[in-house]
Amino acid sequence: MQRNHNHTTIVTIEKVIDETPTVRTLVFSDNVMSNVLPGQFAMVWIPGINELPMSVMISKEPGKAAFTVRKHGPASTGLFNVKEGQQIGIRGPYGNSFDLKEGKLLLVGGGTGLVPMIRLLSFVKPADDVTVLIGAKSKDEVFFEDLANNMLENNPHKVIVSTDDGSYGEKGFVTDLVEKLVNESHFDGVYACGPEIMMYKTMQSAHSRNMFVQASLERMMKCGVGICGSCCVGEDLVCRDGTVFDGDHLSSNKEFGHFYRNKAGILEKY
Amino acid sequence: MNQLLYSKLSSLFKVESSLTTSIGQIQLDRPVMLASGILGISLDVFNRLYRSGVGAVVTKSLSTEPWEGYPNPTIFSVKGGGWINAVGLSNPGAPNFAKMIEPNQEVPIVISLVGSIPEDFEMMIKQFENCKITAYELNLSCPHVAKVGLEVGDDPELVRKIVTIAKNTTDVPIIAKVGLGTTHYLNTVSTAIDSGIDAITAINTIRAMAIDVETQRPILSNKFGGLSGTPIKPIALRCVYEISSKHDIPIIGCGGVSAWEDAVEFFLAGASAIQIGSAVGDNWIDVFNEINNGILQYMKRKNYSSIKDMVGLAKKS
């Protein structure tokens, strides 16, 4: 019988991979999650601690999936600290997914925003010319660079890392690279996931040049199913209408890139 | 009247069916409302919901101060149907909320209020003096937050004082939302009516919980939450029927409506409007117009001109 995506399923963490001092990937077996589309997310329950939305990461092994988490607040730190053999609850997948174009593609990932970008990479066609931009604060926090290169070994491709402090790769913000690249040549599809300002600037750079651009938004989520309203951005609910939105749509949203809602639902400036 | 004769006469004098309804003094274009706690956080979303067919939006329950609510997990999908939630009444607080909705002219907004003492409600209602408000709904029935909601609704003296102070603070209609607590809800309804309430919403979620058998612990961070959705519909329907049998008070039915037949059941039991919450989680916001259309088709088939033509019909036998 097909599982109801709203019902919590308990899975056991089989492997924990340290990606950086603050980022870990937790691998588990689950057929449903191993097949999710890029951009879709799961609500992940860490028993006794919290529940949070997580983009689903690929795993090389069939039937397996993973979450790549950066320790930040209580919930993500709780997930970061989960050990091999421990159980977590998952429900979903929720949300829509990226509309992957063919041809010259630009993928922009900041921090754990790389997760849906990596998932997207597993769907590119061999003829696609793919540029991946990885943004990180410093050398310590760069991850998935080798993975991206390996996944694209049969494609014309570039994987470019930029660090805010210049300790690795190009120095500066990844959005400056985006602006430079879209100014030099046309991309058939531009995809972004990461800090909101990064996505906002990427959207502006691409959309102003009439390029197809999509971003996967992040907001505080409680229910994940469109009931609680916590994740609204303007009139859109990230959990139900997104998480992926087109540049056309985002460019008319008054809150995207400027405001988010706190736990009480009050608008705050980024 | 002979059924055959009636249907023949009806077809001769076919009436224009309209979804408009009155809940006492409250006039709505459509009888399907958004229940409190659901999506009620931003004016942009309210506008979208109005375009999607809601007759009125009931806001999240507002408190005097902003509340963050409980940590996740705050919601649980029950195998077999329904949801248990303990969001914990997270809300931006009445003053912030009033500022946000001040520009609104178009969407009928019902402000849901939650508080511990009568003065809380007076203070909050005053925040909305410059806003266009359709009604206030007093939350006397949230089953998962201490010192408010059901704990207030279970205290007849407090109910009397809160309804009285609310009525004295504004001319806008006041609705009391009741639920299943330790005081019989019919007594709470009587107290509210004696204190001047304009309408009743029945019912709220029912206190419930879920335990995960693998990790052997309650799933919700608050342990207890409120059960909503299809499992509670027959109970809510019974309550509406009982209230309308005992009192001459406008009623809004709330609990497990997910299809037009459910809505019609509530009308037949005595409700003049219904509220929808959980079905949004299952069917998203298309659910409002689907139900509106279903009700309208039913009305045409039965030759009813307005919702009031069918309110309470099930009590005739």
Tokens of B267: 């009308």
**Which pLDDT score, from 0 to 100, does residue B18 have?**
95
- Tens digit of each residue's pLDDT (9 = 90 or more) over A62-95: 899 999 999 999 999 999 999 999 999 999 999 9
DSSP B314: G
Q: Which residues of B touch A89 (CB under 8 A)?
A: 212, 215, 219
Q: Quick check: B93 and A52 CB within 8 A?
A: no
Q: ipTM of this predicted complex?
A: 0.92
* Cβ separation A230–B90 shorter than 8 A: yes
Question: A124: helix, coil or strand?
Answer: coil
Q: Give the residue numbers in A contacting B (CB under 8 Å), as ranges.
A: 4, 6-8, 10, 43, 45, 47-48, 50-52, 74-75, 87, 89, 91, 222-230, 232, 234-235, 237, 240, 254, 261-266
Smallest Cβ–Cβ distance between A235 and the set B48, B68, B76 belongs to B48
**Rounded to 5°, angle at Cα B162 from B223 and B202:** 55
Q: Give chain B positions within 8 Å (CB) of A74.
A: 71
Taking an 8 Å cut-off on Cβ atoms, the answer to whether B60 and A265 are in contact is yes
Give bridge partners of residue A171 from the DSSP assignment.
Answer: A163
pLDDT for position B11: 60
A265: nearest CA partner in chain B: B92
Q: Residues of chain B whose C-beta is under 8 A from some C-beta in A? A: 37-42, 44-45, 47-48, 60, 66-69, 71-77, 79, 83, 85, 87, 90-93, 96, 212, 214-215, 217, 219, 221, 277-278, 280-281, 284-285
Chain B neighbors of A235, CB-CB under 8 A: 42, 44-45, 47-48
For A73, A144, A217, the CA distances from A220, given in Å and listed in that order, are: 12, 25, 10
Domains in chain B and their CATH numbers? 3-315 (3.20.20.70)
Q: Which two tokens stand for residue B8?
A: 């023949």
Residue B248: Cβ within 10 Å count: 6
What pTM, to 2 d.p., does this model score?
0.94
Number of A:B CB contacts under 8 A? 127
Within 8 A of B67 by CB-CB distance, chain A residues are 264
CA atoms of B220 and B264, how far apart (whole Å): 33
Crossing angle between the packed helical segments B156-169 and B118-127, to the nearest 10 degrees: 30
- The predicted pLDDT at position B7 comes to 61
Q: What's the pLDDT at B41?
A: 84
B66, A268 Cβ separation under 8 angstroms? no
Closest among B316, B272, B67, B216 to A47, alpha carbons compared: B216
Q: How far is A228 from chain B (nearest CA, A)?
A: 5
pLDDT tens-digit map of A26-61? 999 999 999 999 999 999 999 999 999 999 998 878
CB contact under 8 A, A232 and B45: yes
pLDDT bucket at A1, cuts 50 / 70 / 90: low
pLDDT in tens, chain B (317 residues): 466 666 666 566 678 999 999 999 999 999 999 999 999 789 999 999 999 999 999 999 999 999 999 999 999 999 999 999 999 999 999 999 999 999 999 999 999 999 999 999 999 999 999 999 999 999 999 999 999 999 999 999 999 999 999 999 999 999 999 999 999 999 999 999 999 999 999 999 999 999 999 999 999 999 999 999 999 999 999 999 999 999 999 999 999 999 999 999 999 999 999 999 999 998 999 999 999 999 999 999 999 999 999 999 999 76
pLDDT value at A16 more than 70: yes
**pLDDT given at position B6:** 63
Which residue from B44, B60, B280 is facing A235, i.e. has the nearest CB? B44
Decide if B216 contacts B153 (C-beta within 8 A): no
What are chain A's domains? 9-94 (2.40.30.10), 104-269 (3.40.50.80)
Inter-chain residue contact B214 with A10, CB threshold 8 Å: yes
pLDDT of B104: 97
Chain A residue closest to B65 (CA)?
Answer: A264
Residue B249: the pLDDT is 98
Residue of chain B minimizing CA distance to A267: B92
Tokens of A236: 């859109």
User: Beta strand pairing status for B206-209 and B224-228?
Assistant: antiparallel
**Which residues are CB-neighbours of B263 under 8 A, at least 6 positions away?**
B31, B32, B253, B257, B274, B291, B294, B295
Give me the pLDDT at residue A58, please: 84
The rounded distance, in Å, linking the Cα atoms of B311 and B266 is 8
A89 DSSP β-pair partners: A10, A45
What percent of the residues of chain B are helix, what percent strand, and what percent coil, each to the nearest 5?
40, 20, 45
- Closest residue to B92, CB basis, from A91, A254, A265: A265
pLDDT at position B45 is 96
Angle (nearest 5°) at CA A45 between A40 and A49: 140
Residue contact B75–A264, C-beta within 8 A: no
Write down the pLDDT at residue B2.
Answer: 60
Known catalytic residue at B254: no
| Closest A-chain CA to B51 | A235
Q: Provide the shortest C-alpha distance from residue A119 to chain B (in Å).
A: 26
What does each C-alpha distance from B226 to A165, B251, B260 come to in angstroms?
A: 49, 21, 24
DSSP secondary structure of B36-55: TTSSTT-HHHHHHHHHTT-S
Per-residue pLDDT, A232: 95
Alpha-helix residue ranges (DSSP H) falling in chain B: 3-12, 43-51, 94-101, 118-127, 150-153, 156-169, 185-194, 233-246, 260-269, 278-283, 286-302
| Shortest alpha-carbon distance between residue A75 and chain B (Å) | 9
pLDDT at A2: 75
The answer to whether A150 touches A160, Cβ cutoff 8 Å, is no
Contacts of B60 in chain A (CB under 8 A): 229, 265
A107 neighbors A191 (Cβ within 8 angstroms) = yes
Question: Would you state the pLDDT for residue A21?
Answer: 95
Nearest to B271 by CA among B196, B169, B202: B202
Tokens found for residue A117: 């970008």
